Amino acid sequence: MKRFLNVTNIPGFQFDTTSLLVFACCFFQEKKDIRLLASEIIINLVEKQNIDVNLFSDKLAYLITNKYGVLLRLIDGIIVLKDVSPLHNSALFLILDGIFKRIELSDKLPTNFKKLVENYLDVMAKTNQKPSAESLQFFEKYKENNSLKPLIKQLLIS
């Protein structure tokens, strides 16, 4: 994975759907050094505008839906984008919104899902963005969830 990540950081590297899926998998890896390297690379890719954040969020949603790995690892890996710059905040908003648009969960939410929603709300406020209609539709299903109720209430009135 380290070699793959190093290749993705070479100027001129172009992601295709498969390499973007592999890149998304790096954020769930058990080895912290791989996750940290992936975090550094996502910062660089956003800065250079060399990543399709919508397609990236699609891959992340796919992995979360299929319980690929520990959600907290992903959250910690992508939240590094927050407050780097306005461009990075916008990219993080698009990534998180894209995840909520496409994710399909059973009734039981993954551990630390609340942290994902909290970061979404935070970056939404920082970018002055509104949740997409698809994301709102997703949250509507969980508005009675005790741990998410206050967060979803904020989302629905935004």
Q: Could you tell me the two tokens for 30?
A: 């058990």
Res. 158: pLDDT tops 70: no
Res. 33: pLDDT tops 80: yes
What would the mean pLDDT of 18-43 be, rounded to a whole number? 97
pLDDT in tens, 92-104: 999 999 999 999 9
Rg (C-alpha) for the chain, rounded Å, is 15
Q: 14-23 long-range contacts, Cβ below 8 Å, gap at least 24?
A: 15/51, 15/52, 15/55, 17/55, 17/59, 20/51, 20/52, 20/55, 20/56, 20/59, 21/59, 21/62, 21/63, 23/56, 23/59
- Indicate the pLDDT class of residue 107, thresholds 50, 70 and 90: confident
Res. 122: pLDDT tops 80: yes
pLDDT in tens, 67-99: 999 999 999 999 999 999 999 999 999 999 999
Crossing angle of the two packed helices 86-102 and 113-127, in degrees rounded to 10: 130
Contact between 20 and 59 (Cβ < 8 Å): yes
Question: What residue has token string 């209609």?
Answer: 133
Res. 65: pLDDT tops 80: yes
Contacts (Cβ under 8 Å, ≥6 apart) of 9: 41, 44
Give buried/exposed letters for 100-131 (b at 16+ CB in 10 A, else e).
Answer: bbbbeeeeebbebbeebbebbbbbbeeeebeb
How much of the chain exceeds pLDDT 90, in percent? 85
Query: What's residue 19's pLDDT?
Result: 97
pTM: 0.95
- Indicate the pLDDT class of residue 1, thresholds 50, 70 and 90: very high
Question: What residue has token string 């407050």?
Answer: 83
